[in-house]
Structure 1
């Protein structure tokens, strides 16, 4: 077997403070628990040696994901990351999973309690299939990692499978360490934060004329008689990448544009918006750099996409909108005011943030393009996964909560260079009440683009 040589890392500054995004996800976790988690999952057609996963788990437990939040007592100073003191054990389930039960098994892995204060922020689980294969799931808390962080940690762990797990050798050394004089370091950080707040307020005032695309209010009706607890409808499909790109090219678009068009098209077909509505689509954009110690290093680019009934989304218009949004976010003068207020968000009293969190709205259409990420994490010591899936999982929760936050549809795209794996979640209980209803809408949208997906 051949393993890629482990990367060498440059040690970070001693203290790795939480970012505004880390802080926001931590506060949301305190309010809603694990309402949203990330999942990286693998399908193997043949048995996978449990010893490989045991080694993999050990490296993750000493790697980039193994971090805990260290609170601080100095007002306005930010908490920071330290290496985790605990990790959830590897779970091997004994009951084989049938082909038509795979999606349910993967979704069930989202039922886990995370604790950012101890470092219990990820869980690795596996099971066999009735056809002799193996399913593997890595579920992670968004408090401690975005998609880029997960891929970075997993890639490093796989490259080091046959080394001894050591926090000082692998990606774990980037997590951060305790300052020599915690009180002095926190006082200094408090001063920096107050200056950042003042700078952010000035920048927000200067950018007060910058506007973002509006989201559509969620129609109150129809309201289906559903249980008080509801699991969002989820689907996973696979397509040939060449076929995907050909469809995009035929309609003057890009790989990413077709993803956005599918999301907007599904939302329109569901009846969530009317004809000629401008749908707000949020596009996560990675800001991660080499040896980046941040747990979350992603920003969002919002665009408006016009939906027209019985017509395909205009891919050329989508392409132009994405370019404009990317250009705007590179210049503070054209960055929306709310982005400048992130330092203020971190120092606001908790009761104020609770109010904003409880009245905040979820994206109506979220489209995540992870690019060619699957190929880098598909091999476990010579065992090649037949499919790799990466997606956000919207967990089971109160049905009325989904209605209140007005969540819509999420799409996540990844490829190994040959096959596209697309994860779709319909989280509006009255537009996507079941997996079957979501599949009907998705099939119609694929047919409009001349695409023939294979459903899991």
Structure 2
């Protein structure tokens, strides 16, 4: 019997099936703005470490019914993408979004891309875009942190001694027995999940609000979601949060709910469902995706600031509820069943599936650990999910809402905001107007990336 394979998690599997249905529709992006020029040789070595590290994985499948796919190290990767043409300071956001236009392939292992471009001011832009099939935000930071440590130490790129060792292997012999054992284990897990779901059938999650049908703007057939990046002094952000009996996380949620109200997506007096990703990643965790979501209900008081004390209480209550199987919603217990669904069945259910109306991701002070590359410290570090360009009608049908991603380097808060509703946030300028008004209401002084 071979060693245990690194099987895909339920989230890995769901993202893989969605990738098969929609292609590369959502990616994660880690980006840096440097005032200096980075040595091309350093970036080539960083790329080599990443190509032998935690992100370098590809999906293997078996014909044994119900046995889960598994990860093995990838033997190929997207090459380092080097742009020679300098990017103007007013074109940074456009360049960063352009890096999301890549077709990943989890089967071959092409699931990440490192890109670099000079700026007209003599600096450097660097982007690491990753497929959500193989890596959540925590996995990206873990992989990059390991690659940077090995780069600084002058070590040779190597799977066996780097974070790549955790990806798994494809041992010879005994695989049929291993897959049969996994299939039996999955059937048992599904049975346990169904029993738990029945017991939790009265547990209710906050409802999401249906997307208003009007207004319906005359838009092109293809749509790129409006995106912004805003910086605020960390001391200022924390001071405002504390003044309103909230936390840094709660203020992000408060801003998000306010933006939905200002845009007309949510009516005043309505409860907004806000989904907050919560990392479950442990030390040397081999999982690509190790995150759960905590849904909370937040009142939208149009024309008034969100009550941050209520947000803080709601987040704590949701965390306690999800820690207890008895108060975990039934759908969460059914993940083993979800993994057994063939793609055609999932495609049928996806016709009525909806995107989050409000997703708020707090990445903490992650910027400090990855801000320096070979001794050169970035002026700014950004981490965010990117909703890629797609059919306008698809955005309307799945009712894409608002995504916010918060991170800090200890001195500066960087907030990435994506307005996916094409009729409420048709352009970056429209989104910026709402953000400027909402920040002014909180007494925050935003600095917008351009």
1:53-92 mapped onto 2 (5 Å cutoff): 53-92=43-82
Q: TM-score normalized by structure 2?
A: 0.98
The answer (yes or no) to whether the contact 1:14–1:177 under 8 Å persists in 2 is: no
Q: Do residues 199 (structure 1) and 199 (structure 2) align?
A: no
Q: Choose from 90, 103, 110 the match for 1:113.
A: 103
Q: Do residues 46 (structure 1) and 39 (structure 2) align?
A: no
Q: Choose from 423, 431, 448 the match for 1:430.
A: 423
**Would you say how many aligned residue pairs link Structure 1 and Structure 2?**
445
Q: Residue in 2 aligned with 1:6?
A: none
Q: Residue in 1 aligned with 2:315?
A: 322
Quote the offset at 1:13 in angstroms: 5.5
Q: Residue in 2 aligned with 1:188?
A: 181
Q: Residue in 2 aligned with 1:175?
A: 167
1:386-405 mapped onto 2 (5 Å cutoff): 386-405=379-398
Quote the offset at 1:349 in angstroms: 2.6
1:10-25 mapped onto 2 (5 Å cutoff): 14-25=4-15
Partners of 1:57 and 1:158 lie apart in 2 by 10
Q: Residue in 2 aligned with 1:378?
A: 371
The answer (yes or no) to whether the contact 1:366–1:411 under 8 Å persists in 2 is: yes
Quote the offset at 1:283 in angstroms: 0.1
Q: Which moved more, 1:178-187 or 1:251-260?
A: 178-187
Quote the offset at 1:296 in angstroms: 0.1
Q: Choose from 79, 91, 100 the match for 2:90.
A: 100
SS in 2 for 1:65: coil
Q: Choose from 297, 306, 326 the match for 2:290.
A: 297
Q: Residue in 1 aligned with 2:130?
A: 140
The answer (yes or no) to whether the contact 1:122–1:139 under 8 Å persists in 2 is: yes
Q: Choose from 420, 428, 448 the match for 2:441.
A: 448
CA offset digits 1:338-390 (Å, max 9, x no partner): 00000000002322111112210000000000000000001111000010000
The answer (yes or no) to whether the contact 1:261–1:313 under 8 Å persists in 2 is: yes
Q: Residue in 1 aligned with 2:239?
A: 246
Q: Residue in 2 aligned with 1:9?
A: none
Structure 2: segments with no counterpart, 5+ residues: none
SS in 2 for 1:266: helix
Q: Residue in 2 aligned with 1:4?
A: none
Partners of 2:342 and 2:53 lie apart in 1 by 33
Partners of 1:38 and 1:132 lie apart in 2 by 26
1:407-422 mapped onto 2 (5 Å cutoff): 407-422=400-415
Q: Residue in 2 aligned with 1:5?
A: none
Q: Do residues 255 (structure 1) and 255 (structure 2) align?
A: no
Q: Residue in 2 aligned with 1:334?
A: 327
The answer (yes or no) to whether the contact 1:74–1:190 under 8 Å persists in 2 is: yes
How large is the Cα RMSD of the aligned pairs? Answer: 0.9
SS in 1 for 2:437: helix
Partners of 1:60 and 1:273 lie apart in 2 by 42
The answer (yes or no) to whether the contact 1:403–1:428 under 8 Å persists in 2 is: yes
Structure 1: segments with no counterpart, 5+ residues: 1-11
The answer (yes or no) to whether the contact 1:13–1:176 under 8 Å persists in 2 is: no
Quote the offset at 1:140 in angstroms: 0.2
Q: Do residues 35 (structure 1) and 25 (structure 2) align?
A: yes
Partners of 2:208 and 2:333 lie apart in 1 by 20
